[in-house]
Structure 1
Amino acid sequence: MILEDSYFYIDFDDENAIFSKFNDYANKTKKQVYVVKKALATNYSYMYDNACAVLIPNCRIMITNLKEEEKDFTTYFEDFIEDLGVLSDKYNYREVLGRPREWKNLIKKYGYNDIKKDVKDIIDDIQENNQDNIRKIELLTSLLIGSINDIKRIGKETPVTLLDKVKRKIVLFDGTQSNFIYKNYNDKKEIRIQGLAGTGKTELLLHKIRELYINEAEYSIVFTCYNTILEDDMHFRIPKFFNFMRVEEQIEWNKRLWIMRAWGSGKNYSCGVYSFICQKYDIPFSPFGKNTPRFDILCKEAVEALKLKQPPIEPCFDYIVIDESQDFAEPFFELCSMITRKQLFIAGDIFQNIFETNISTANTDFILSRCYRTEPKTLMLAHAIGMGLYESPPLRWLDDSEWEACGYIINKANGKYILTRNPIRRFEDIEVNYKTLTLTKYNNDNTIIDEIEACIQRIKANNQSLVPDDIAIIFLESDMFHNYHTANLLESMLYEKFGWSVNKGYETKQRQENTIFISNINNIKGLEFCFVLLISEKKITTNFRVRNAIYMALTRSLISSYFFINEKENEKFIEIYSKAIKQIEQNNAIIIQEPSQELKEIIKTNFVKRKNEKNDIQEIIEDLSAAYNLTLEQKDDVKMFSKKALPKSMNRNEITDRIEKIIQAVVK
């Protein structure tokens, strides 16, 4: 297994004592260090193999000789800088960096004897303190590791304000991400990757597809997923991503690169993996319909049919990339593996729903536990409220392996659990004196409008570059009739007080530029905003769906979340979590009493009992149909499709998530 939090990446197969000391430094300081012999996302090559670049945060780039040969090393050094200049031009970095002669002083040439020094002496020698230079070094590093940033987003000037520092942060891959994209694991047929929401999983898949496409010219690649919404999104995102990454080869659709949903259609076999296989190998196909068995049963039947083929079948694709693997059962993976010649990449979410029962990382090759969308304290607070960790008894308790799979470092002292998270580079160098979560009490509809206005005025006063797109206003409850009314009042206030237009996400189903986003909880998955304003107008119960909705909403924010709560209904909740917020902000940790073994059993029993309660699918459909404002015809379609797309083993939260995906496909 490739463990999460890999702080060292090396682009060399052979071991060297020099590399070991940088590995130790990276893991000790929790700073990402890279050792590369060329720019990773390129096909560049050099005659001299005994040299490399060492990339360390806040330090000038070291180009290092690993042997005593000096002449060839000098050639390598000059060629390396020339190629780096070419990349700077290719991705328009010259707008910020200038010509190579202007940034060449940020790269230090290290001879064979120089690199033998202690790491501390080396760091002291190459340390850079000028912020403008540090930013340029980060841009050069991004070119070398293939983590290309949009230079228009980054801007020319070094950001000063908190908002600009977060929005314009230069994004760099960590070691686990780089290993997934660039390393070859040819000894394994299946590569499995799991990640928390916000860990950049889909972005990594795009980079992996690009790597396979440009380096494996003769091979065919398939991207597949369960629902048509993600399939349609990838039809848009892949060409856009290839253009951004300056892929010079034209995409050969349905020859070298395929995007297909999992099931498909009998009318158009090439639109789905299952339907394509049935046509290709002449086995029975079952369309999606009223009397069709579940998809996992169909996949199992297809596997058995392929095994009976004589002579044995030949794989028809070289690589298959499966996203949202949590939507599938093992028979689909087995079916895909049978028709894949080289490798199958299986990517899924872990802990997307904080009340899911399977948090296992068994058989996982890459674990992405660093959430780059959400500041660590915000994520801790969202987990604490979602799982009721400060309540008695908590709604959910994880065992140690589950806490670790979710990115937590566990310490135990005096009967207490101390749960911390490693710092995230996106937030590690910004001010620590701002509040990541604020609870605001209100009493009625009139004051909630006033409270929202006052909140935005404060945000605006502290962030001069604030634009409407930076803010989302989210309703926690599904009472959309009341929410529509409040949304209309907010729309009037926002235009009158700020001159801002509103994008009602429950109508548009997408983000729009230069508008403030207002939505219910059903339309925010995958989105992120600098500031989130969450409104709860009723009593916050221990209902799993409500708590998971709070978790999901709070983790949409990059900087701060503001939770507006009806004071009359939630006095105890406000008291508990006002104290919890203060503790987590001060200690950068969740500090809670470890439940006794007896209490753990009670929590587990309550949890299992509630998970196994009868799931009223009709009630869920009615609730979501109202939230999505479905027509009667659309609701009937959802009912029909839900009967065949919902395995009996699903719990209520999983059923709700699946029905939402069906609704989104129906209204598309």
Structure 2
Amino acid sequence: MDNKENFFIKISDEKKNSQIISFLSEIKNKLLSEIYMIEKPLHSPYSQREYNNENSYMVLIPGKKIIFVDCSDNDSGIEDYKDEILDDISEMAGVLGFKNLIGRPKNWEQDGLIETFNVRELLEYAQKRNHDEFLNRIDLGNIGAQRKSQIIVSLLIGVANNPNIITKLVPVSVLEKVKQRIILFDLDQTRFIYNDPDKKVIKVQGLSGTGKTELLFHKIKNLYLSSDNIKIALTCHNKVLANTLRERLINFFNLAKVTKQIKQENLFIAHAWGTATNPFSGLYSYITNFYRIPFYPFNHFESFDITCKMAIEDLKNLGIEEYAFDYIFVDEGQDFPDSFIALCELVAKEKVFVVGDIFQDIFEKEDINKIVEADFVLKKCYRTDPKTLMFAHALGMGLFEEKKLNWLEDREWELCGYTVEKKNGEVILKREPIKRFGDEEIDNIKDSVIIYYNSKDLIGDIIGVIKKCKEQYPDIEPGDIGVIFLDNDRDIYEMISKLEAKIYNEFGWESNRAYISKKNKKDAVFLSNINNAKGLEFSFSICVTKGIKNDLRYRNSLYTMLSRSFLRSFLITGDSEEKLKLILAGLRKVMEEFCIVTKEPTEEEKEEIKKLQIEAKKSPDENFEEVCDEFQIESEERKVIKKLIIKHRGSLPSDKSELRDIISKYTDVWN
């Protein structure tokens, strides 16, 4: 890797500082920490100011001393530059609510938070590759000083942290440390915020938990403040996530002290579809109303894909003379057909930003080049423990089982942040260690995934898990817990009602049935099916299923829900230990050796996997019709069976083998 690809650099003379850049790259690899080499704060209005720096610059390493590098020809030059920067940091801290926590510039210098190097002096460290002496010189001995440094770095690179949450320089409990984490940008995240490729549709691919949504907020804020008349849209697939995005974005703007009023006509936030009667209920609804083209309701066509294609055709026939928006942001882009992105491109004047989960996208796309062509790829997961992420990926793809449900080639694994080693017929997949919280107890948590199998009482076992969490983490709050039911059976809603009552009786806590409220409530335990938990995160994720299915869509949902947690994910299932034998062995390997060990499918098996992927893209209705064809069921009989299945289960299963079992029972009774 080129050294300048290793950390964020924005200085006037990179070539002159090439040896220092190389040295800092080695330091980054040694610390597993981010480094920023900048001349001025990255965000507006400070990025537009002129500083008296004479090519001097800062080197920022979170948790270390703030480094000023003197490239001036006189002694006073660096002092003037330093005073200007420190004054602006103090101003930022005051505006954003951190001054009481981190103090004033004179305190920082007295406490040894600031270090100045002459450029020749730093070059000597670089030439001698004197890592240890350099690190000793910039070391901060106590946690309080390290967190002050992290906050100062976050201010300089433009990250909006919450002063109402980050209230302590030395958090004590594990949950305090999780909740009071100081957010920083890594190299790829920083590039996305401050660099734009010269193209209209910009694609960002990232794993679950890589901070995609927070990055959208920062980008939206910068654009929203750039013009008084700007029109921005933010959309996603479902109402719960849209409501959550709206609430989070408003809170984010408040944190960032954005004084410009949020108006719906300037900043539109809604899910993708909407209704004909309310143009602000969805992006498609707004577009059809804006251009006066036909609105097609949810049940008019077989899919949203066809609906979007019809809208595109109508718009091309009409001819676009005015744009509905300047910028459109699409969250969870993997949930949408290409036609929806094309529709957004047609009605946006400047750019469309599409953010998606690379892992889910690889599940969905037949052409890997669509993934490779992403403009920004975020590989580092800061929410979920890497062990949890590895297990969730492996379980989602069936990597521990004889029959794999999915497989990635080496390039695809690398895009997902894995290193690939092939040895003695086995494939060993590893992830780079990452400092999520900078705390040994959290970053090295034991058993970040726990499976409870052979469950005869799912509700009782959920209560048992919550009790154990309360015992281990006494300061736990209701909103720290998310309980997600993976099955689509109708009786899960009866179970959720019983669980809600049980939680209140046992703990005195309120619960939030998100499939009804369509919101995430911080003072209540989150209870939901899989359709309403995307984009949300919890300290503890409890996934519940009667049995793990060999259905690609189900497994993809299982991966997504397991990776919702900061600290620990639980999987409660009615499956027996014997049935889960290979999965449990794979889990132990991940937890103990920090790797996935699997076998590459044969070429024949890979062809079978491709067929599975094609099948997975079919709708439950299509699968139902095909299974009915197999059983040679007449049209009228199909209607009756379909109604009975939906009445009993709430929906048609997407898995064909499950459909075959159900339909065979109905036909036995019918005959």
TM-score interval, smaller chain: 0.7 to 0.9
Residues 226 and 491 (structure 1), Cα distance of their counterparts in 2 relative to 1, 3 Å cut: closer
The match for 1:660 is none
1:584 to 565, 587, 590: 590
Task: Kindly report which structure 2 residues correspond to 1:549-568, keeping only aligned pairs within 5 A, or say none.
Answer: 549-566=557-574
Cα distance in 2 between the residues matched to 1:428 and 1:398: 31
* Bigger mean CA offset, 61-70 vs 341-350: 341-350
The match for 2:667 is none
Give secondary structure in 1 for the equivalent of 2:598: strand
Residues 612 and 476 (structure 1), Cα distance of their counterparts in 2 relative to 1, 3 Å cut: closer
Contact in 2 for aligned 1:474/1:535 (Cα 8 Å): yes
The match for 1:510 is 519
Does 2:462 correspond to 1:460?
no
Contact in 2 for aligned 1:460/1:466 (Cα 8 Å): yes
1:47 to 44, 52, 68: 52
Q: Once the two structures are aligned, what percentage of the paired residues are identical?
A: 35
Contact in 2 for aligned 1:474/1:519 (Cα 8 Å): yes
Task: Kindly report which structure 2 residues correspond to 1:253-652, keeping only aligned pairs within 5 A, or say none.
Answer: 253-254=264-265, 256-259=266-269, 285-289=293-297, 294-302=306-314, 304-305=316-317, 313=321, 317-334=325-342, 336-337=344-345, 340-352=348-360, 355-358=363-366, 360-427=370-437, 429-431=439-441, 432-445=444-457, 448=458, 450-481=460-491, 484-485=494-495, 487-488=497-498, 490-537=499-546, 539-566=547-574, 569-608=575-614, 614-616=622-624
Give secondary structure in 2 for the equivalent of 1:155: coil
The match for 2:257 is 246
Contact in 2 for aligned 1:198/1:374 (Cα 8 Å): yes
Contact in 1 for aligned 2:148/2:169 (Cα 8 Å): no
Contact in 1 for aligned 2:235/2:270 (Cα 8 Å): yes
* Bigger mean CA offset, 544-553 vs 212-221: 212-221
Does 2:88 correspond to 1:88?
no
Cα distance in 2 between the residues matched to 1:452 and 1:317: 46
Give secondary structure in 2 for the equivalent of 1:154: coil
- Alpha-carbon RMSD across the aligned residues, in angstroms, is 3.6
Aligned length, in residue pairs: 617
Does 2:70 correspond to 1:58?
no
Does 2:139 correspond to 1:139?
no
Q: CA deviation at 1:270?
A: 7.6
Residues 557 and 331 (structure 1), Cα distance of their counterparts in 2 relative to 1, 3 Å cut: closer
Task: Kindly report which structure 2 residues correspond to 1:136-175, keeping only aligned pairs within 5 A, or say none.
Answer: 136-175=148-187
Cα distance in 2 between the residues matched to 1:486 and 1:315: 45
The match for 1:34 is 36
Q: CA deviation at 1:345?
A: 2.5
* Bigger mean CA offset, 495-504 vs 76-85: 495-504
Query: Which structure has more RCO (C-alpha within 8 Å, separation ≥ 6)?
Result: 1
- What residue ranges of structure 1 are gaps of 5+ in the alignment? 630-634, 640-650, 654-668
Does 2:120 correspond to 1:113?
yes
Does 2:92 correspond to 1:74?
no
Q: CA deviation at 1:75?
A: 0.4
Cα distance in 2 between the residues matched to 1:89 and 1:499: 39
Q: Deviations over 1:292-348 (max 9, x none)?
A: 7923322442453366x8xxx476754333434335444554554455444333333
Residues 157 and 79 (structure 1), Cα distance of their counterparts in 2 relative to 1, 3 Å cut: closer
The match for 2:7 is 8
Q: CA deviation at 1:54?
A: 0.9
Give secondary structure in 2 for the equivalent of 1:210: helix
Q: Please tell me the residue identity of whatever aligns with 1:528.
A: E
Cα distance in 2 between the residues matched to 1:146 and 1:191: 21
Cα distance in 2 between the residues matched to 1:450 and 1:277: 48
Q: Please tell me the residue identity of whatever aligns with 1:247.
A: V
Q: Please tell me the residue identity of whatever aligns with 1:202.
A: T
Normalised by the size of structure 1, how large is the TM-score?
0.82
Q: Please tell me the residue identity of whatever aligns with 1:511.
A: N
Does 2:29 correspond to 1:22?
no
Q: Deviations over 1:611-648 (max 9, x none)?
A: 56943499999988988x8xxxxx9xxx9xxxxxxxxx
Q: CA deviation at 1:13?
A: 5.5
The match for 1:196 is 207
Q: CA deviation at 1:63?
A: 1.4
Q: Please tell me the residue identity of whatever aligns with 1:78.
A: D
* Bigger mean CA offset, 343-352 vs 322-331: 322-331
* Bigger mean CA offset, 466-475 vs 502-511: 502-511
- What residue ranges of structure 2 are gaps of 5+ in the alignment? 626-638, 657-671
Residues 276 and 526 (structure 1), Cα distance of their counterparts in 2 relative to 1, 3 Å cut: closer
